[in-house]
Amino acid sequence: MYKAIIIDDEPWTIIDIEKTFSLEDMGFEIVGSYRTPQKALPAIISKKPDLVITDIRMPGMTGMELIKSVRSQKINCEFIIVSGHSDFSYAQEAISYGVAGYCLKPLDPHETSETLNRAKNHLDSRKTITPEPSYLDDNFEGLRNYIITHFSEKLTLKSLAAEFNMNPNYCCSLFTKYLGQTFSAYLTELRITEAQNLLHNSDYSLEEIASLVGFKDYFYFSKVFKKYCKYSPKEYRTLPH
């Protein structure tokens, strides 16, 4: 079971999440729920949950400030943001911190369940790398987590290797060894997966979504998306889900 913490200054939202969604059936155990980020932060540091579900607008500390504080503690948990505001700048900042999803209130059961499952899949995927007490494995986990939290930015193998003081060829070999795919393929997969989420679960324009997931040119984004999904972004948005 993965440990989960819920934070929202509206108690009915916490109750809604606890009662509406079968978190235990999805593999999550709620180890705490809090009305303020200030009370939640020490609990996150001590309990080290696998998932944090948080509101974005709260008195004293925003959800994004909370995420920054948790990331600074090197706690590698998944985040899901719940918010009553569909704000492009919030979504852009949230994606830059590698959140698993951005759910709007009132919470749609289907969309929220999809986001919870996506967070679980992210957690499960980390287990595909067999941990070994070696410098090599620590390097790769760092590389992978960096990409997950920076995939919306301009990111190249050369810049990634430089960030971790590695030879680009060696950096590339780690992806082939542990994931069986290239750095470029892994990065594109992350971007397209997030684009699919935004197409089904947000009202952002196609151009905004392309920008949010790291494509500065919409037409190139559309071409890559269709290659991976067999549908154009516009067509994919109309598909039932």
Show Cβ contacts of residue 180 under 8 Å, excluding neighbours closer than 6 positions.
Answer: none
Largest CA distance in the chain: 52
pLDDT tens profile 106-129: 888 888 888 898 889 888 877 655
Specify the range with the lowest mean pLDDT, choosing from 23-32, 70-79, 99-108, 129-138: 129-138
The confidence band for 104, taking pLDDT boundaries of 50, 70 and 90, is confident
Reduce the DSSP state of residue 56 to 3 states and report it: coil
- pLDDT confidence of residue 3: 95
The partner residues of 5 in beta bridges, in order of sequence, read: 32, 52
| Joined tokens for residue 65 | 């400030």
In the chain, which ranges are E strands?
2-7, 28-34, 51-55, 78-83, 101-104
Query: What are the Cα distances from residue 238, in Å, to 88, 107, 170?
Result: 21, 20, 42
Domain positions in the chain:
2-126, 128-241
Q: Is 90 helix (H, G, I), strand (E, B) or coil?
A: helix
pLDDT-derived band of residue 137, with 50, 70 and 90 as boundaries?
A: low
Tell whether the model's pLDDT for residue 131 goes beyond 60: no
The CATH code of domain 128-241 reads 1.10.10.60
Is pLDDT of 133 > 80?
no
Residue 82: both structure tokens together = 């719940």
CA distances from 78 to 31, 50, 52, 71, 132 (A): 15, 6, 6, 10, 22
Q: Which CATH architecture does the domain made up of 2-126 adopt?
A: 3-Layer(aba) Sandwich (3.40)
Whether the pLDDT of residue 36 is over 80: the answer is: yes
More confident position, 131 or 187? 187
- Collapsing DSSP to helix, strand or coil, 179 comes out as helix
Lookup: tokens for 210: 């392309």
Report CA-CA distances (Å) from 93 to 149, 214, 232.
10, 12, 25
Q: Write the burial class of residue 110 (CB in 10 Å: 0-12 exposed, 13-18 middle, 19+ buried).
A: exposed
Backbone angles phi, psi at 4, to 5 degrees: -130, 145
The model's pLDDT over 143-157, given as tens digits with 9 standing for 90+, comes to 888 888 889 889 999
CA distance 94 to 232: 25
Q: At 54, is the pLDDT very low, low, confident or very high (cuts 50, 70, 90)? A: very high
Q: Is pLDDT at 51 greater than 90 in this prediction?
A: yes
Check residue 71 and give its pLDDT: 82
Instruction: Give per-residue pLDDT as tens, 179-237.
Output: 888 999 999 988 998 898 888 878 889 999 999 999 989 999 999 999 988 899 999 99
How confident is the prediction for the chain on average, in pLDDT?
86
Residue 85 has pLDDT above 50, yes or no: yes
Whether 128-241 and 2-126 are alike in CATH topology: the answer is no
